[in-house]
Amino acid sequence: MRFLLMVIFLFSAVNAEESQSKKPELGFWLGASNPFPGSETSRVLNTSLGFGLFGRIQWPYNLYTEAGMSVANYPSLTERSLSTIPVYGALAYKLPFELPVSIFLKAGGGYSYVIARPANTAKWDPMAMLGTEVSFVAGKKVRIGLRIDYLRIFETIGTDIPSEAKRFYLSPLDRDYRLFNPNYYKLHDGEFFHFALMVSFLL
């Protein structure tokens, strides 16, 4: 009897997922925003709490188009900190497995607004994004799940060492340092990942 009830539940969940899959979604996530382990970013900054918003539609073909943004402020053991506001677009592919949960793989890019403190220097940097999501539809209107996003913020692309390099070190990770030797000016890409709970609403 228990086995029969479990089969009925799984079958119902799969059918509910399929019937709702073509509806547009609006949602949010909340969770840990982390410097990527082993990166230059992780040497300087600590884990923080992040928040994001996203929307998704099934287009084109069997792919999903997702757009979103997030906010995170990364502290450190010193007076330095880094705030990021990534804005991205991505294509997502839902793995075609008959499961009570949906598994999405995502890839995309965009730009991130980066604010370095205590110097309060800020600029937009290009960004790449990879992600995965495991979620299920609860009822007919709500999707609940977990998502992991990897972000790489490219300061090394399209950024020339400015003339102020003789006076300021402008890397997002260390741009509050004032160095008088331009030979010490370096650019670092920022690497982060989000591990978060997500909720979206099917419209």
The residues of the chain scoring below 70 in pLDDT are 1-21, 157-187
**pLDDT computed for residue 94 by the predictor:** 96
Helices (H) and strands (E) in the chain, counts: 2, 8
Q: Are 110 and 75 in contact, with CB atoms under 8 Å apart?
A: no
What structural domains and CATH numbers belong to the chain? 2-202 (2.40.160.20)
DSSP string, 121-185: EEEEEEEEEEEEEEEEEETTTEEEEEEEEEEEE-SSSS----GGGGT----TTTTT---S-GGG-
10-34 pLDDT tens trace: 444 444 455 456 789 999 999 999 9
- Full-model pTM: 0.77
23 CB-side CA count, 13 A: 17
What pLDDT, on a 0 to 100 scale, did the predictor assign at position 186?
57
pLDDT, position 173: 52
Query: What is the pLDDT at residue 20?
Result: 55
Please report the pLDDT score of residue 98 as a whole number. 87
Percentage of the chain exceeding pLDDT 70:
74
Q: What is the pLDDT of residue 60?
A: 93
Tell me the residue type at 125. D
Look-up of token digits 């923080």: 48
Report how far residue 76's alpha carbon sits from residue 189's, in angstroms, rounded to the nearest whole number: 17
Provide the pLDDT for residue 120.
81
- For 7, residues 6+ apart whose C-beta sits below 8 A from its C-beta are none
